[in-house]
Amino acid sequence: MNIGQTVKLIQKEYPSVTISRLRFLEKEGLINPSRSKGGTRDYSHKDFNRILSILDLQENQFYSLKAIKNNPKLLTNSGKVQIVIKEYSFHDALKKSGLSLSQYEDLEDFNLEHRKDIFSQDDVNRFSGFSYFFSLGFTAKNFTIFKSMADRGAGFIDLVKNNIEDTEELDIAVDNFTSIIGSYISGDL
């Protein structure tokens, strides 16, 4: 795979990754993709997995690049500790999701986001979704339809909550609601 294809695949899990970042990892000696006769980088499956390991160590386990370089054993799966992050600062939520400050401010202008002190993983996941669509050329104005759909769906879910007290039954109802909405969206009617 060339560098552009590799970045696109990695951005599914790490939206903030860029071509420059992969070049930097190579410059630092952490990855060494082969080269074609024309000099184009050719990333193997092994290179791809190594990059994912490095990004996991940096972004999910908070190791510095220096620590990763000085401790190559970190790149093996032995002794891997998974840290679960429950709260993010504004800056960290944007960085993790790949959403830029100006994109976030556009979302605020359309009342799709509201600034707060602490952000959850759900917030980061939503930001990642926005980031993906921004990368396809959508604008904040395009997302107002999502807000309208969510507001209407929330009203229905409130109605369901008021009629179902059992949490397992409520989960089943929400899953069924999601299936119905998903079928309308995909056009399976």
Name 58's Cβ contacts closer than 8 Å, sequence gap at least 6. 64, 65, 68
CA distance 155 to 161: 10
How many residues in total does the chain contain? 189
Whether the CB-CB separation of 89 and 115 falls below 8 Å is answered with no
Amino acid 78: pLDDT: 47
Structure tokens at 68: 């990763």
Partnered with residue 34 across adjacent β-strands are 42
Amino acid 80: pLDDT: 52
Amino acid 157: pLDDT: 81
Amino acid 20: pLDDT: 93
Amino acid 121: pLDDT: 86
Amino acid 102: pLDDT: 96
Task: Convert the pLDDT of each residue in 89-106 to its tens digit.
Answer: 999 999 888 899 999 999
Helix (H) or strand (E) holding 145: helix 144-163
Give pLDDT < 70 ranges for the chain.
77-84, 186-189
